[in-house]
Amino acid sequence: MAEHGYTFPALYDPSMNIARQFGVRLVPTTYVVNREGVIVGAGFGPVDLTSPEFAQYLEAVRSAS
């Protein structure tokens, strides 16, 4: 996270305790949570957080709320 300058919170769950609570079956799993704490998106497998497509996705989610 620091290496790429990300400033948003991220969960590191090596014991998979939180993953089990959310029913995660594939790793990595990415959740997008809005400012109210509601999960508004999810992706399974690697996600390039620096890609233009991901930025467009986040903008679309933001615009929809």
> What is the per-residue pLDDT across 2-53, written as a single tens digit (0 to 9) for each?
888 888 888 888 898 988 898 887 778 888 888 888 888 888 888 898 999 9
In a domain, 8, yes or no: no
Could you give the number of structural domains in the chain? Answer: 1
Give the residue numbers spanning the domain of 43. Answer: 17-64
In a domain, 52, yes or no: yes
CA 46, 61, 10, 20 torsion-angle sign: negative
How big is the chain, counted in residues? 65
Pairwise CA distance, residues 46 & 38, whole Å: 22
61 falls in which pLDDT band (50, 70, 90)?
A: confident
- Whole-model pTM: value is 0.60
Q: Cis omega before residue 52 (within 30°)?
A: no
